[in-house]
Amino acid sequence: MAVIGAIRTKFMWIMLILLGVSMFLFLIMSEWESGVTIFRGNKNTLGSIDGTSLDRMAFEDKVKTNEDNMQMNKEDQSSLTEQERQSVREQTWKELLSKTVMDKIYAKNGIQVTTEEQIELLRGDMFPDPMIKQNFTDPNTGQYSGQNVVNFVNSLSQKDGGPEVAKRRVQWDNFKKYIIDNRSTTKYTALITKGMNSPKWMSEMVYNEFTTNVEGKVLQVPYTSIPDASVKIEDADLKAYLNAHQKKYESKTESRKIKFAMFPVLPSKYDSIAVQDWMASKLTDLKTTDNDTTFFNVNSELPYSLDWTRKSELSGAYADSIMSMPVGGIVGPYYDGMSFRIAKVTNKKVLSDSIKYSQIMLTIKSEAEVQSKVKLFDSLFKVLDTLGGDFAALANAYSEDPANSIQVGPNQMMKLGGAKDWATKQTVPANLAYFLFDNDNGRYMRAQEGSNIYILKVTQTKPNTPAVKVSYLTKSIIPSKETEDAILGNVSKFSSDNQKFTAFEASLKKMGPASTREFSVGKNDHNVPGLGMARSMVKWVYESKVGDVSQPFRVDNQYVVVLLDKIKPEGLPNINDIKEELKVEVLKEKKAEMITKKITDAKATTIEALAPKLNASYIPVTGVTLAQPQVGTFGFEPAVAGAMLGQAKGKMSAPIVGMQGVYVCITDKVNTTPAKTQAEKDGAGTYFLQQSTRSLGQGLSQSIIDNAKLVDNRAEFY
């Protein structure tokens, strides 16, 4: 019976443990399904600001929208880089914070943008938003009408409009949202700034700061006159300075100091030999091919070139050789940076350095007139290129080039038919140069430069410069898999051999500054100075403890091994962590005290008597104002400018601690410019008020965010 009882007792404990584990797993699954985990809180919450949760899914939706907008507006339409995506994510985060805190402020102050107000802002005739008015004013009449907006919006509803209409639809939606959101901001800023004013005394003060200047003499004893080694600095001095300047060094977030070694992934000599062998194998084919276009497009990293190239536009040591070759001539293989090349001349010609040409120019001034201007442009080109129309007549009738008309009498203008005088490649818009100087295909040419679209026709040339069409068979020398594996093996060995703090630091010293770095990183950082995008490395840093050494990270074209050196908590840093920074400031303070004592002990009453006692010199200065406190060749020294403007004439000042040294000054003359009218003084006050309100408007939301209670959990997700 005793045995059975013991079994029952043990079995009961096993059952209780199993039951507890089951309940624990059940709770985890339940919380996970509801979006909450006991390990990291709500998996759908990025954090909070002043108690308001920041929804992760809403954030990611906005990031996707902003990425699409950036992609749509990229001129080359290339995919977004990781750095660009991170930039979008960071900007979206700032927008989310601003909207969250400001929406509360708007609601608290009864600020809203009603439906009626939105309609008036977007397409009204009486009070449209300034940006709406700017973009939808008829360029021909200079008149704005809300109907222009209505017509544009209706054009976006075309189902068969294709990608261009879809693009404009997205742009309009974003533009519309910006205007409505900006209206709330404008109202709140106005609510604050309308309470600001510039009293009479302030207007006079600002006026005097700009118009009153002094002349005098200034003596400088620079801080560099005292050797650093002669100044004794103790830890108590550093502590006292830190306590007196807490705001300067206080950090609102934790950061971590890292040290790392960099190992570039470079090709080996065997990789170079392999490329040379490949080039040699292609050389015979290049000499015998009867289709250069296909050969270069299939085999080369650079496509077959249709561009004419002058000798001055060729780079490298082989320019003379290429220019001297006949059509079909080959130069190379030769080494060019990190690649090998073979150049083949596919055509030769004598080009003009100067030409005469004619143009018809149309300007697209707003989204509303894109379709109409492009339609007119296509019609004009067809009349010229297909129907043989009169270029001069069409240019006089339709070209919007201001230079197409010249004044020939007091009230008489003459049109030039689009004709241009002799021009060089450097004097025409960059995007037109290719068509006018290098493109010999077709009688009429289309081109675009900014918001202007052109029909071009070359009318006279002066062929005087030899040019070639040259294509390059190019192959880069890149590390092979074997080379990369060997480098990774060496880096892995470095990591395993230097897992201890002291060993890692000793190895860094042996490697030298070119291959090592040290920086502080924050938990949300993606870009590390000196490396680039290295998010996985930063995440490792925040998952490690001081003294940990990482395995190799691949960052761009190098491997990196990281040591977590220090953790810098939020708040005031440890003195040892910023010891060198503090020493610079304390050194300056102590030198200022020493120089001040020397000046006082000299007991001189004039600058002329003081200068030889201090082995210093003085200079005359003029035009010193409070608004622009540049003091002669000493540069920006506001304390000296203030002393000169505030002291009695002819009396030597007490020592003045400045930016670059300790100064003594004498004011000889004060020049004033009395205001002719009160309006002049009031204008200075108005200027100051405008600057203040502009700064307030720009920094208001950020100031509110800085003072809010922010919980940022982004590092757990990205």
Average pLDDT over residues 602-631: 93
Within-domain flag for 200: no
pLDDT beyond 80 at 411? no
- Which of 295, 281, 275 minimizes the C-alpha distance to 340? 275
Assess whether 60 and 188 both reside in one domain.
yes
* Beta-carbon contacts of residue 55 (< 8 Å; ≥ 6 apart): 44, 45, 46
- How many structural domains compose the chain? 5
Assess whether 295 and 378 both reside in one domain.
yes
Domain-terminating residue out of 423, 448, 478: 478
Assess whether 396 and 380 both reside in one domain.
yes
Contact by Cβ (8 Å): 40, 717: no
Average pLDDT over residues 126-149: 86
Tell me which residue range forms the domain holding 512. Answer: 251-266+482-571
Contact by Cβ (8 Å): 669, 191: no
Assess whether 289 and 373 both reside in one domain.
yes
pLDDT beyond 80 at 25? no
CA distance 132 to 659: 49
Give DSSP secondary structure letters for 55-90.
EHHHHHHHHHHHHHHHHHH-SS-PPPPHHHHHHHHH
Assess whether 509 and 653 both reside in one domain.
no
Within-domain flag for 113: yes
Assess whether 340 and 439 both reside in one domain.
yes
- Which of 357, 306, 293 minimizes the C-alpha distance to 467? 306
Element (H, E) at 667: strand 661-671
Give the CATH number of the domain where residue 448 resides. 3.10.50.40
Assess whether 109 and 188 both reside in one domain.
yes
Within-domain flag for 303: yes
Assess whether 283 and 150 both reside in one domain.
no
Domain-terminating residue out of 512, 543, 571: 571
- Which of 580, 588, 608 minimizes the C-alpha distance to 249? 580
Within-domain flag for 676: no
Give the CATH number of the domain where residue 661 resides. 3.10.50
Average pLDDT over residues 77-95: 88
Assess whether 282 and 403 both reside in one domain.
yes
Q: Is the dihedral of CA 305, 310, 316, 320 positive or negative?
A: positive
Q: Which residue has the higher pLDDT, 605 or 6?
A: 605
Within-domain flag for 530: yes
Within-domain flag for 532: yes
Assess whether 117 and 80 both reside in one domain.
yes
CA distance 214 to 458: 62
Assess whether 583 and 531 both reside in one domain.
no
pLDDT beyond 60 at 41? no
Contact by Cβ (8 Å): 367, 132: no
Domain-terminating residue out of 632, 649, 671: 671
What pLDDT, in 10s, does the model give residues 356-392? 999 999 998 877 788 888 999 999 999 998 888 899 9
Within-domain flag for 697: no
pLDDT beyond 70 at 43? no
Within-domain flag for 327: yes
pLDDT band at 231 (very low <50, low <70, confident <90, very high): very high
pTM (2 decimals)? 0.68
Assess whether 368 and 274 both reside in one domain.
yes
